[in-house]
Structure 1
């Protein structure tokens, strides 16, 4: 039924363009100006991403979306991933919190490494994935964003590194007309947020813009401490020259964001029994005040036992500053663009990760009987107490289960200097015109990392307490402890390293317009990298505390450093053809080749998997537009070879993520995207996006005895075959007040947690709605998400279920979507 609803909406879009009316092309400044006349619609928005020069969206021979501030308001996303997930071809998971969510493009089997985040056409950090952060942690959406342009496939590999897609945030730039806006957002999840932006002239053809946000948020789940706290500020100064402009910009982020991980939702002893009474589906989390003062214990390279304190409430603490300069000029038809930026940042990240399923309390304890007998002498029985106390804890007074989780403490410093220089010129020839662009891009960047993982024993509950497992003699005396103040394994994982990189890329693109409407374009990008780094060797060690088993198998630094160098190079290309029958009907086809080298973290890792992945993408598109109605239909095929689907599984015996399960093969994805808007009347518009695909594994091999045949032809992990949304909106004026009423239905199809497709993540759909009132510059908005508290999981438990599932037909351990919540926004524009 859900598929029928989405398909019906798409048919309505097609009907809307049956009577095609003329549409006027727009011209204007490429950096900050969208379509000047709102009646012209999104098809005539001016876009700059992935093209030689500014052009109408309709004229582009690739799939691109523009998302304006008005779109931000009506979509009312809970985070940036939620916004991008409303676009066709993008399957996102939004349940990790505000940042570090999942971005997948057209079935490419990666959690975000193929999506380049840019600001005004330049990345803030060269690689798409840093040490436990990606673009949405350093580039956050606020009122300082004029619009976001999103390229799917197409020329992305030529205009950015590692990219099957580009997300480019175009910032507000000042003009002769001063303008500003401020708004306060209040949410029933304890959200308090202030956004503001101001721009205008400084005199002498010089303009400014400054904006940002401050935010405090208790969180969508109850951690027992604030979820998010911090903010961002961005500013720029632009000076117009006789033939162009120069712009200076500055970004600063100082923000804490707590990370949500999967929770158990059903009893593994009987998957029909819900654990909701103990850990609430919508509000429960294993994050807890019990982890506000964690002691990390390990042995350093000199043999000295170290103790460091860590606080879970710090979350993902990102501190980042960026300065940049941008120069654009027209020298008698020669378009020169020079952009450069430098980013310096620091990430301190703490999170509590899921590991194995909950276990029956008695069975779990008995699993340590042999080790306890050896260490402490004959053990008569085990018993649980609250960690660090003598208070008895009886699991059978609650769920009868206990569970373990992994506390992760990660610290990284990073830097990235990047520059892009390009020259473009249109040449008229005897056989059409050539619009040629030549460019040079380079980056110097690097990051270090210090990582400690430590495993804990906890109760099955929201905001769980940590537990100690004690071994008793026949007389009732305590012989010893399996745990140490709740710790099951001290320093189960311990890593440290540093890396530096330099890279240079040359690229070129030619758009050949043979006759009006018929264009062929081709581009190529060649990149050369040079990595240098080191990693600290570790070994298994016993820290020597005879009263506990928790320190028997820790990792310890040996004092030895391993140096590494790597010099990969890759070549990407794209070829496309476009024919527009008119300003309202067009066709295009394109082939792209994407190579992604190993990232810089490879040289600060011990025995890393070094592989250059290749994705060949093909797409054909139909473009239809009429006023504010449009329909883009894009068929696509992606072959990803080689696909490294290897993973490190959690070993409950050692407490480490050190069970390497290598799977090398291919991923093949065939599909079609629908992206449309149907303006039924001037006051009613229906927007929608739908993606139907068949993401499959092919030709797998494994060197460790795992059966690759069981993965052959299976659906790619966590990738649905159908996903999309429908967004109706009503816009009218009554009594001098502009009123917008809008809603959103988002559908996510069935997925699987494992390569063998044994355990499913069921389909789900959510409803949201909102209303906005505007009068005399004031704005009042009320919006609600997941109004009917639909249940849905976006992932399983990736530490243990990636190969063969969870032993159940449907996931009983996963990351649930957020429950019903509301936000009130009060704003003023001037």
Structure 2
């Protein structure tokens, strides 16, 4: 067992210094191939016509037009025109992907796919990759979601996504979708440098990328960004600051047999992550039809990042008071990679992709929950009845607080001591002529070891809800005793003993996989299978009662209780194996129409979210409950139509492509979400045991006609909870799943100037699985203008949320106070305008 677990690592160690690989389950294009390019006036790029090679969750050399999977490819230029303000916003340009797109520049988004809800946070069934390897093994690691660890910048050539299908067998822990950020590799000599400046928000960013050939067989690419400011929210200090540098060098091998490549990345950035705000809700029965601003609060620009809460205290595991600096999400990533694509003999190639990442960081921020002040007065806090609330700091320090609401969610400090990983994917591909057709065979081994070493400090805290610089609030008893200090009522005890937590875990996934395909004429058949073998080792500790601390602030002295992560260790030492499969067929009717069908089943291993939940025996093995809930399986069936051709309209002629996919998905999910403990009944049960069904259709289309270009993505989803341990939700539509989601981007490019818009929205969706309220749909419009006064120089302006729409997406809660209904959730950024200058050379 041990030798098998380390075999891929030994393999790449022998190859890394001389034979560097293309991504295996997300292969690189053949040596010398040109990357996807942004669209040019009057024409569609290779990526848009479907003639490019699919390199994500695929095998062989099939184009998108001839692949029996649903594939989207978005160029760097198209993403910039979309004017995203976060990684999550980028993903909304991909059909079938569900994300609220309001997580902020630091990440922490919930990413779903095809009507399968995100029940625990993060990205359970969607993998984010960088050059063909996952950034982390599991997309929903507690305080370690996959969108923390990567950034979009000039170094990215395109983003490629495969939904369903072969994602089940050519990637681990990603049965729903694989989204791959593919880097520039110096195919074209030249580069660009650019600077952007926020005009109505404070952000400054320098971007660059340059690549080219050192000689005919050696090329390189280097790029990255530096930025500083507040981000799109109205934060009065530099909550956003940091940089990323990426580089690679590629050596093409003699006789055009392949290439070797080395890669490097360094990311070090602290960035805010958004949390809830509130607005007055307009109700029609249980439908939330619109919003008004609550006094003094604007969700479009408000933030919990405050000059009055830039530091807070916590109690470390040794029982010592420490001070944490609020840095939002602060990832530190250093990675080195090595790739090889080598043709051993005619029709036989070896691909290997290796990366070692050293990852650490912190998650230090202020969460927000809306509590009516009337509910707090008269309640019991730290054993005494609350009689008064006063400002602990800020301009009103010492004065009585009379606002309608308080924030009673924690300030939280998670130290990510080690989130590093080692990943390797080794694959051998063979092609053989059989009769008038071609047989493609592939066999490989994926190995990834993921470290999760964290300590959590989750403090009970009270603060003012304000658009900007909310103050901390101190509570006083009816007898005048001070109950909090600097707004803090308890150290490490906000969510009980579960969440004063210390974990030191290592998960190792070894997955052999096989694929076979046959092509003859217009017919392509393929099938694949993957066997994941995941081992978990380490320990987890929960909270135990610690000392009481006598703490002083400007208003006086309070005695603060604590929990520290020092319980008896829960040992983790187990192995779980499972299989995934996928089979598909495509038939091309000539060169402009193809149809495909596919069925697949993919497994998703439940990792760190299962600890401290009653799933393990004392020796670390799985008990009966843990064994039955260790893996969730996603089943999908899909059928698609791909078309392209010439279009004549209003006397103009152009080109178009469309791809339409009908899908059906079923999932049995067992999981645990500790954050539900803080919810109001009945939605406060952290144990999740649901069966979901969804079906729908995805559509993506492109038209290029003269100087006009149009992209449209539409997703219709009918989702239902078919069964559940919670009887009240059976038959309901899952919370946060809209029926229709759309993304439409028209643009017009005359060469000297270009202008375009993005229309991004969805229809209504229930805010939770119980269907208590349905949130109305909202549409947001972005716009861009580019002017090119001289060759190679481009001046631009882009606007996100052009009409400054007040709106929300998915989830949230309704609070009643004083005869008025209030909606609490993370708001979409208001209008933000950015100017840019870019020089290409």
| TM value normalised by structure 2 | 0.85
Whether 1:53 and 2:60 are equivalent positions in the alignment is yes
CA 1:559/1:813 → structure 2, altered by over 3 Å: closer, same or farther?
closer
How far is the alpha carbon of 1:410 from its aligned partner?
0.3
Q: Deviations over 1:183-219 (max 9, x none)?
A: 1111121111111111122237221111101011312
Match of 1:207 among 194, 201, 219: 219
CA 1:108/1:673 → structure 2, altered by over 3 Å: closer, same or farther?
same
User: What does 1:432-511 align with in structure 2 at a 5 Å threshold?
Assistant: 432-462=437-467, 463-471=469-477, 473=479, 478=480, 480-492=481-493, 493-511=499-517
Match of 2:593 among 581, 585, 588: 585
How far is the alpha carbon of 1:678 from its aligned partner?
2.4
Query: Aligned residue for 2:667?
Result: 640
Whether 1:404 and 2:429 are equivalent positions in the alignment is no
Query: Aligned residue for 1:673?
Result: 698
User: What does 1:622-701 align with in structure 2 at a 5 Å threshold?
Assistant: 622-626=641-645, 628-644=655-671, 648-651=675-678, 660-679=685-704, 681-701=705-725
Q: Is the 8 A contact 1:649 1:660 kept in 2?
A: yes
Q: Is the 8 A contact 1:761 1:795 kept in 2?
A: yes
How far is the alpha carbon of 1:506 from its aligned partner?
0.6
How far is the alpha carbon of 1:611 from its aligned partner?
2.9
How far is the alpha carbon of 1:132 from its aligned partner?
1.7
Partners of 2:65 and 2:688 in 1: how far apart? Answer: 41
User: What does 1:154-303 align with in structure 2 at a 5 Å threshold?
Assistant: 154-163=165-174, 164-175=176-187, 178-188=189-199, 189-203=201-215, 205-242=217-254, 243-266=257-280, 276-297=294-315, 300=317
CA 1:391/1:104 → structure 2, altered by over 3 Å: closer, same or farther?
closer
Whether 1:575 and 2:590 are equivalent positions in the alignment is no
Query: Aligned residue for 2:635?
Result: 616
Partners of 1:528 and 1:365 in 2: how far apart? Answer: 53
Partners of 1:539 and 1:49 in 2: how far apart? Answer: 46
Q: Is the 8 A contact 1:125 1:343 kept in 2?
A: no
CA 1:29/1:772 → structure 2, altered by over 3 Å: closer, same or farther?
farther
How far is the alpha carbon of 1:415 from its aligned partner?
1.6
CA 1:400/1:538 → structure 2, altered by over 3 Å: closer, same or farther?
closer
Report the secondary structure of 1:280's partner residue.
coil
Whether 1:785 and 2:800 are equivalent positions in the alignment is yes
How far is the alpha carbon of 1:542 from its aligned partner?
5.5
CA 1:629/1:585 → structure 2, altered by over 3 Å: closer, same or farther?
same
Structure 1: unaligned runs, 5 residues or longer: 1-26, 374-378, 703-707
CA 1:267/1:387 → structure 2, altered by over 3 Å: closer, same or farther?
farther
Q: Deviations over 1:138-169 (max 9, x none)?
A: 22111111112111112011111111111112
Query: Aligned residue for 2:563?
Result: 555
CA 1:422/1:195 → structure 2, altered by over 3 Å: closer, same or farther?
same
Q: Deviations over 1:312-337 (max 9, x none)?
A: 2x111111110011011112110111
Report the secondary structure of 1:568's partner residue.
strand
Partners of 2:435 and 2:53 in 1: how far apart? Answer: 29
CA 1:522/1:670 → structure 2, altered by over 3 Å: closer, same or farther?
same
Partners of 1:651 and 1:46 in 2: how far apart? Answer: 48
Query: Aligned residue for 1:744?
Result: 758
Partners of 2:669 and 2:811 in 1: how far apart? Answer: 25
| Aligned-CA RMSD value | 3.1
Report the secondary structure of 1:649's partner residue.
helix
Partners of 1:652 and 1:719 in 2: how far apart? Answer: 20
Report the secondary structure of 1:47's partner residue.
coil
Query: Aligned residue for 2:532?
Result: 527
Q: Is the 8 A contact 1:570 1:596 kept in 2?
A: no
Whether 1:823 and 2:814 are equivalent positions in the alignment is no
Q: Is the 8 A contact 2:392 2:472 kept in 1?
A: yes
Query: Aligned residue for 1:767?
Result: 781
Partners of 1:556 and 1:54 in 2: how far apart? Answer: 55
How far is the alpha carbon of 1:553 from its aligned partner?
5.4
Q: Is the 8 A contact 1:181 1:828 kept in 2?
A: yes
How far is the alpha carbon of 1:501 from its aligned partner?
2.5
Query: Aligned residue for 1:123?
Result: 134
Stretch moving more, 241-250 or 537-546: 537-546
Query: Aligned residue for 2:4?
Result: none
Match of 1:419 among 405, 418, 424: 424
Structure 2: unaligned runs, 5 residues or longer: 1-28, 494-498, 617-625, 647-654
Aligned residues: 763
How far is the alpha carbon of 1:488 from its aligned partner?
2.2
Partners of 1:269 and 1:66 in 2: how far apart? Answer: 40
User: What does 1:87-106 align with in structure 2 at a 5 Å threshold?
Assistant: 87-98=94-105, 99-106=107-114
Q: Deviations over 1:621-675 (max 9, x none)?
A: 011101531111111010011354755434499xxx9964434121111101110
Q: Is the 8 A contact 1:395 1:402 kept in 2?
A: no
Partners of 2:735 and 2:536 in 1: how far apart? Answer: 31
Q: Is the 8 A contact 2:159 2:179 kept in 1?
A: yes
Partners of 1:602 and 1:789 in 2: how far apart? Answer: 41
Q: Is the 8 A contact 2:315 2:564 kept in 1?
A: no
Query: Aligned residue for 1:13?
Result: none
CA 1:231/1:390 → structure 2, altered by over 3 Å: closer, same or farther?
closer
Partners of 2:760 and 2:412 in 1: how far apart? Answer: 33
